[in-house]
Amino acid sequence: MSGSRPLPEPTPETQHFWDGTRAGELRLQRCDDCAHVYFPPRPFCPACASRSVSVFAASGRARLDSYVINHRPHPAFEGHYAIALVELEEGPRMMSNIVSCEQTPEALVLDMPLEVTFEPQNDSITLPLFRPAAEGSKT
Amino acid sequence: MTRYDKQVAIVGAAETTELGVIPDMSQLQLHADAALNALADAGLKPSDIDGVATAGESPTTIAHYLGITPNWVDGTAVGGCSFMIHVRHAVAALLTGQCHTVLITHGESGKSGIGRGRGRGNATSLQGQFEAPFGVVGPPTMFTLPVLRYMKRYGLTHEQLAMVAVVQRQWAGMNPRASKREPITVEDVLSSRMIAYPFHLLECCLVTDGGGALILTTADRAGDFPQPPVYVWGTGESVETPMVSQMADLTSSRAFAVAGPRAMSDAGISHSDVDHLMIYDAFAHLPIYGLEDLGFCGRGEAGAFIEEGHTAPGGELPLNTNGGGLSYMHSGMYGMYALQESVRQLRGTAPAQVEGAEVSVCLGVGGMFGASGCVVMGSQPKA
């Protein structure tokens, strides 16, 4: 990293997510009424509108859904880098980056198994990134 | 018989005097230049306008700047398809008598950045929290994200994606106002600079300055204007998500699939009735998604459809006949230029005129697959 990324400013509705990444957990929400699992965070279920929802720690397992490899400069990245969409084992999709992996079409194969890793940016914000799943990990 | 006794017609349409690089004009003046050209096209004065719709600037600013006292305004701003949605809202306002003559304006100093506020990202927004930290730098790194999934699911090739740009350049070559007119090949596209894999420079829209404006009124007055009226047969609108990462399906736009079929059923037409089609092409995959979400092609078939020449000059479904955002112009919110081309085709005045064009479908996108508006127009009143 040669510069800083634009960092999120949590809101009351998302604070639990960012507290989670700082604590090494990828926190999702599940509806207590219809069991729908969703992201990004909000204090109600987007499937059935119930306000009865619970936060839980996701497995951190995911697969590579789609991506682009950006060739234009970004102050926080060196060289070409992938912006990825990952589908979590629990269902929701999120944007992230793939680390510990060459940023090439040959290395970044759609549907490859991934696992979350956490990268602190400062005292309050830690970003969830993903890396190729370790051999033998359950994905 | 339709739901309305009356219909609405487009009686004035024009773009800015210049298109491309316009360093001596602010964004606000681009709105005004297009508006004045549209007023002249319709033989009207600003005082004849009682409804104002715009995006990119406030309708308050536009009305004040042009000296209009409206009793109806619409500031719907959901990206480049806002102008299609303004048409839809104007139809409702005109048919219920809320106003009588609507002006829709667009102007954007997309290349030169003159008089254009630079919005800072909001780090508390959903995009600010859950997309911006991961290195997105504008539409080329967001709008493009779904396409690898489409390519894997349906077998779309890099060559087929490049062919979208090749075919649109064929149309642009027939248009003196197009920014890029030299013919290109698939090899040219695939050897152009990589912007965001798998998208090369020639698969990304232009960045230019310009504007456009439309004037709408009820069809009973349409004969009072100097230009042949273009009738609004049907409209549709929808939104899906402000975050491309949260599209329900990476291989289809839900907003397209709602707005497009709604506009066509509203118009009472089937696919075989369509003579001319515009699909907002900020990037080369958009016409592919649009053809499928509108139902002109089955899932996974649009790449081959374009590759086989069906949308090219001489093909049975002329698509993006001005050259599109890839070759004609793209100031940022391109939707107005797609509407202008539909109007030209139905007036019979397009540079690359489709012989006998009577029905045109114009599909817009807003944000990164975030929104859509669709307008079906006819050269005659709807039956």
Show the domains of chain B with their CATH numbers. Answer: 8-114+208-234 (3.40.47.10), 135-206+236-378 (3.40.47.10)
> Is residue B347 within 8 Å of residue B41, measured between CB atoms?
no
Strand, helix or coil for residue B169: helix
pLDDT at A58: 98
CB contact under 8 A, A11 and B124: yes
Report CA dihedral (B207, B254, B72, B104) to the nearest 10 degrees.
Answer: 30
Q: Residue B22's closest CA among B212, B211, B210?
A: B210
* Residue whose tokens read 């970004």: A74
Closest residue in A to B247 (Cα) is A93
What residues of chain B lie within 8 A of the CB of A72, using their CB?
137, 140-141, 195-196
Q: Say whether B103 sits in a helix, a strand or coil.
A: strand
Does a structural domain hold residue A82?
A: yes
**Which of chain A's residues have a Cβ under 8 Å away from the Cβ of B130?**
8, 39-40, 94-95
Quote the pLDDT of residue B380. 96
Report the residue of A66, A104, A108, A116 to disrupt the B interface, i.e. the one with the largest count of B CBs within 10 Å.
A66
Q: What is the mean pLDDT of residues A7-27?
A: 96
pLDDT-above-90 percentage for chain B: 95
Interface residue ranges in chain B relative to chain A, Cβ cutoff 8 Å = 121, 123-124, 126, 128-137, 140-141, 144-149, 152, 193-199, 243, 245-246, 250
Residue A112 lies in a domain: yes
All residues of chain B having their beta carbon less than 8 Å from the beta carbon of residue A80 are: 197
Q: Is B235 helix (H, G, I), strand (E, B) or coil?
A: strand
CA atoms within 13 A on the CB side of B282: 22
DSSP state letters, chain A: --SPPPPP---TTTHHHHHHHHTT--EEEEETTT--EESS--SS-TTT--S-EEEEE---EEEEEEEEEE-S-BTTB-SSEEEEEEEETTS-EEEE-B-SS-SSTTT--TT-EEEEEEEE-SSS-EEEEEEEPPTT---
Please indicate, yes or no, if residue A86 is contained in any of the structural domains. Answer: yes
Structure tokens at A38: 């969703």
Tokens of A51: 């306000």
Q: Whole-angstrom Cα distance, residue B89 to residue B163?
A: 35
Query: Average pLDDT of B270-275?
Result: 98
Kindly tell me if the per-residue pLDDT of B98 is higher than 50.
Answer: yes
Residue ranges of the alpha helices (H) in chain B? 27-42, 59-66, 82-95, 126-130, 147-154, 158-172, 186-191, 254-267, 286-293, 302-307, 324-327, 335-347
**Main-chain dihedrals φ then ψ at residue B381, nearest 5 degrees:** -60, 150
pLDDT for res B57: 94
Per the structure block, which two tokens stand in for A35?
């069991």
- Binned at pLDDT 50, 70 and 90, residue A3 comes out as confident
B51-86 residue pLDDT tens: 999 999 999 999 999 999 999 999 999 999 999 999
Chain A residues with CB-CB distance to B under 8 A? 5-11, 14, 18, 39-40, 65-72, 74, 76-77, 80-81, 83-85, 93-97, 105, 110-111, 121, 127
**Chain A residues whose beta carbon lies within 8 Å of the beta carbon of residue B146:** 66, 85
Chain A residue numbers with beta carbons less than 8 Å from the beta carbon of B133 are 5-8, 121, 127
Residues A91, B356: Cα–Cα separation, whole Å = 50
- Closest Cβ–Cβ partner in B129, B134, B245 for A14: B129
pLDDT at residue A1 above 70? Answer: no
**Number of Cα atoms under 13 Å in the Cβ half of residue B372:** 30
The pLDDT tens digits for B295-324 are 999 999 999 999 999 999 999 999 999 999
Whether B1 shows a pLDDT value over 60: the answer reads no
Residue A5 in any domain: the answer is no
Q: What is the mean pLDDT of residues B8-30?
A: 95
Q: With an 8 Å Cβ cutoff, are B250 and A14 in contact?
A: no
Choosing among B134, B149, B289, which should be mutated to test the A contact, i.e. which has the most A CBs within 10 A? B134
Span B138-149, pLDDT tens digits: 999 999 999 999
Residue of A nearest to B244 (CA): A95
Which residues of B form the catalytic set?
A: 280, 328
- pLDDT of residue B257 exceeding 60, the answer is yes
Q: What's residue B122's pLDDT?
A: 85
Contact check, Cβ <8 Å, B135/A81: yes
Number of folded domains in chain A?
1
| pLDDT greater than 60 at residue B230 | yes
Flag whether pLDDT at B101 surpasses 90.
yes
Query: What residues contact residue B40 under an 8 Å CB cut-off, 6+ apart?
Result: B14
pLDDT tens digit sequence for B122-140:
899 999 999 999 999 999 9
Q: Does the structure show a pLDDT above 70 at B264?
A: yes
Give the per-residue pLDDT at B294.
98
The whole-number pLDDT of residue A136 equals 62
Q: Please, which pLDDT band fits residue A139 given cuts at 50, 70 and 90? A: very low
The whole-number pLDDT of residue B5 equals 59
Residue A41 lies in a domain: yes
Q: Which of A18, A29, A74, A85 to mutate to test the interface with B (most CBs of B within 10 A)?
A: A85
| pLDDT the model gives residue B2 | 46
- Assess if residue A2 is contained within a domain: no
Chain B closest-CA separation from residue A86 CA (Å) = 9
Cα–chain-centroid distance for residue B229? Answer: 20
Check whether B238 has a pLDDT greater than 80: yes
Cβ count near B223 (within 10 Å): 10
Which residues in chain A have their CB less than 8 angstroms from residue B136's CB?
83, 95
Domain that holds residue A26: 15-132
With CB atoms and an 8 Å threshold, state whether A74 touches B132: no
Nearest CA to B145 out of A56, A53, A108, A119 is that of A108
Amino acid, single-letter form, for residue A19? D
User: Under an 8 A CB cutoff, do A8 and B132 touch?
Assistant: yes
CB distance B85 to B76 below 8 Å:
yes
Q: Is residue B115 scored above 90 in pLDDT?
A: no
- pLDDT tier, A105 (very low <50, low <70, confident <90, very high otherwise): very high
Judge: B195–A94 Cβ closer than 8 Å, yes or no: no
Domain annotation covers residue A10: no
pLDDT digits (tens, 9 = 90+) for A61-96: 999 999 999 999 999 999 999 999 999 999 999 999
What's the mean pLDDT when you consider all of chain A? 94
Cβ within 8 Å of residue B37, ≥6 positions away: B14, B15, B16, B17, B213
Q: What is the pLDDT of residues B325-379, one digit of tens each?
A: 999 999 999 999 999 999 999 999 999 999 999 999 999 999 999 999 999 999 9
- To the nearest whole angstrom, how far is the Cα of A114 from the nearest Cα of chain B? 16
User: Are B197 and A76 a contacting pair at CB < 8 A?
Assistant: no
What is the pLDDT confidence band of residue A137, given thresholds at 50, 70 and 90?
low
In a domain, A126, yes or no: yes
- Average pLDDT across chain B, whole number: 96
